[in-house]
A = this chain, B = another copy of it.
Amino acid sequence: MNLSHLKERAHAEDVGAAMYRLISQLYPICRSITGEGVRHTLDILKRHIPLSINEVPTGTKVFDWVIPREWNISQAFLKNPQGERIVDFKNHNLHVVNYSVPVRKKMTLEELRPHLHTLPEHPAWIPYRTSYYEENWGFCLSHNQYMELADGEYEVCIDSSLVPGSLSYGECLVKGETEDEILISTHICHPSLCNDNLSGIALSTFLATIMSTTQHKFTYRFLFIPGTIGSITWLALNEHRLANIKHGLVAACFGDPGRMTYKKSRSGDADIDRAVQLALKDAGADHEVEEFFPYGYDERQYCSPGINLPMGCLMRTPHGRYAAYHTSADNLDLVRPESLLDSFVTYLSIFHILESNTTYASQNPKCEPQLGSRGLYSQIGGDADRGAKQMAMLWVLNMADGTHSLVDIAERAGMRFDLIKTAADMLAEHDLLKALN
């Protein structure tokens, strides 16, 4: 893959705006961990990328878990004593606790209160709540509205169904020259929440698109799965594939204006950890790197001890660290095309580093080879980077003993990966290096 061409294309095609449009299209759909919302979402993605949609029946055992019943919802509302629909699912998907069991009854405000969820610290926002693994129901509303509720009899209606069906997930395989895989996993279970995680869905979709049209060594597998149960399901059904997965990232929260945050894999020094850190450093923008901890997104499953894939999690502002997280304020105003584009380009840079991370053996390991007589000094040109390019060549030659990858060399030299890679390419062209992998 040619990173600079891909970057140019991304800018030329305005991928940030395209991602934003996809997010806008998916925003109104009510998703959950199962049900029509997920299917509808995957159908839309299928217009962009060759997506296989998989259905796993309710009751299927996946490791310690069981595929739950399928949840669907047609309508839901709360009527006040005056018979007015004061909360209506039609107005916002977040108004209903996701996975609520069906309910239709009248009750006093006092009886109703335990089923009402608000955010006192953000009184205008609707919170996002779920109750997947405990049978329950509820409504979410703004605290302002909640404070105005008067005593009396309320009518509650949630027309949902929880019946045997299936869990749906999408999978897009972009074949490379080898069967070694890079896995990108994104959760699709959240309803109308933009950053978490329509941004991840859009990013994965457009990464799959661009990688389909370029040559690369790795095979890229993009998973569009409901959180937790989705990754567990995929892992349970695909254990035989895990040995092929060489690197991976859990992708979420890419649209907010915050800096990039990388959470390392369980081992902390996998190639993916080093490639991401190099890409972030080379990009020159403020960013944060944090150690693995067994909480967060699906890295919890991918990095469980019996799976232990070399996968980190790359985001902008992490879950729980921005006010709008899991509220109605995670909307189309929070995510920005330029943040989406920047996230997209960062991912491309990481793929580029992983694709290019060759280990070379110098073909002239005894003393330096003559660079001048091969025209290599003049080839590096006379620009401002000339000195750096020459140092990059010398570093590559010095470290190319068959045990150091280009990432090793870039780290040790403290130089940008692209300089090291360019130097290696020039040296290889002159038969001074032999690629070992």
Interface residues of A (CB under 8 A from B): 63-65, 133-134, 228, 231-232, 235-236, 239, 266, 293-295, 300-301, 303-308, 362, 364-370, 372-373, 391, 394-395, 397-401, 413
Contacts and interface: CB of A to CB of B under 8 A. Distances in A.
A372 B134 contact: yes
The A interface, classified by DSSP as helix, strand, loop or mixed, is: loop
A63 B366 contact: yes
B401 A365 contact: no
How many copies of this chain are found per oligomer?
Answer: 3
A64 B370 contact: yes
Contacts of A301: 367-368
A372 B65 CA distance: 11
B133 A236 contact: no
A398 B303 contact: yes
Given A305-B362, A372-B133, A367 B398 contact: no
Contacts of A231: 367
B63 A364 contact: yes
A300 B63 contact: no
Contacts of A395: 293-294
B366 A398 contact: no
B365 A397 contact: no
B65 A366 contact: no
B397 A304 contact: yes
A176 to B, nearest CB: 27
Nearest to A387: B295
Given A266-B398, A401-B305, A235 B366 contact: yes
Contacts of A236: 366-367
Nearest to A298: B367
A81 to B, nearest CB: 33
A300 B64 contact: no
Nearest to A369: B64
Nearest to A305: B401
A365 B305 contact: yes
Which residue among A236, A304, A364 has the maximum number of chain B CB atoms within 10 Å of its CB? A304
A235 B364 CA distance: 14
A395 to B, nearest CB: 6
